Structure 1
Amino acid sequence: MRPFLAALALLTALPVRGVFSQEEMRRGVGFFPLVGYLLGGVLALASLLPLPPGLEGALLLALWLGLTGFLHLDGLLDSADALLGAKPRERRLAILKDPHLGAFAFGVGGLYLLLKWQALAPPPSPLFLLLLPGFARFLVLPFLNLYPLAREGMAALVRGGPLLPSLILALPLPLLFPLPTLLAVLAAFAVARLALSRLGGLTGDVLGAMIALAELGGLLGYALWKALGG
């Protein structure tokens, strides 16, 4: 139970009490998709409300960001400032620790929010909304175990956690929605490769950016899949 609570504390803004050991946080990796499914369950229920599409999309976006404490959006903004543009590696790493936002963060963040809102209005099927957050939280784990870390931090605390339970929990999305899954994987892969080339490895902020863009890629893939008659 404590590894699950550790995963919940790490990935959401829910009030989880207690201090968790590094081993409990590492074992909590096996529950990452389950935490995503809890988030997706709230989104799926909210998508059933009889609201105009634009308002429905805004509500879903607010819930998506709020329940995660804006954690992954923060990672996306910090990563945008650090990874984009011409800078030495040391400066990129320093930017990841800087709470101020630059032009890249505002540009990428604005486009991200606009695209995600549009992809949620009208909302995808409740089943897809349930499954996507769980898969996105599994998706970062293979990269975390295979790629080096650019520095020690939160990512190091969960590195090496059990992948098999996460993989089993994450399987429904690729089985039921292959095209959105493919675009989610490509989005996460692109961020990971960019971080590898410009930072020398991954950080907690980069993992947050990978989750954020994997979710956006999945939503855009769903819209494309529906447009193609899926």
Structure 2
Amino acid sequence: MDREKISRLAHTDHPVNSPLDDESVRRLLQRTLNRGDERILDLGCGEAAWLLRALTAHPNVTAEGVDSSAQVLAKAREEAAGLGVGQRLVLHQRNATDFTSPRPFDAVLSVGATHAFGGLLPTLDAAHSHLAPGGRVLVGDAYWECEPSAAAREMLGEYEDLATTMDRVVAHGWTPVFGHISTRQELDDFEWCYTGSLATWALDHPEDPDSAEVLAAAATHRSQWLHGYRDSFGFLTLVLGRTPE
């Protein structure tokens, strides 16, 4: 079965595709949208969970989201219509790396999608290309809380520790104005929701031809998490302004 279906099922109970609870999302958006009338962009928006929260909290905000998946964008449009914010949301089906706009944005978001650009710093470069002067970037990415195993590095990629990650961001021309380090509860809740949503669907649909594969995917992910990276994986979300040159 395709990976997109696995991903869609896995995020049923945790629509924000990052280890952040609702209060953390609210606080990060509040620090990013300090006027309340911003024009915002989410690169790799998925089901547009961040944008929908911003639009419902701020009636004068307008938003655009970019994602390559037609299915998740269709779900986002449906939810936006149900929330009454569809008129203020524009969604683009394309690779985030290919997106262009004739106008800059007051805020650019990319949380949990840095892989699309090849890492944190290239993501910040992409965000900067869409950012209006004085705007804010909200970005989230992984870091290593302690030295990972070789298997964890191979599985998840090359990250740095927290201090080195921050040093690299600052050296790249950005000033942090707010940040959030995901708690152990947020990290574990995200993984339990991921594996639990898959397992629940498989157990509730035993007649589906994909059921066994989905259940196996839940078991594999749970094993990789518990035996591979749980003790070393961390997640950092930053609100950044561009450092004056």
Which interval holds the TM-score relative to the shorter structure? Answer: under 0.3
- Structure in which a larger fraction of residues adopt helix: 1
After TM superposition, the score normalised by the length of structure 1 is 0.27
- Structure in which a larger fraction of residues adopt strand: 2
State which structure, 1 or 2, has the greater radius of gyration over its C-alpha atoms. Answer: 2
After TM superposition, the score normalised by the length of structure 2 is 0.26
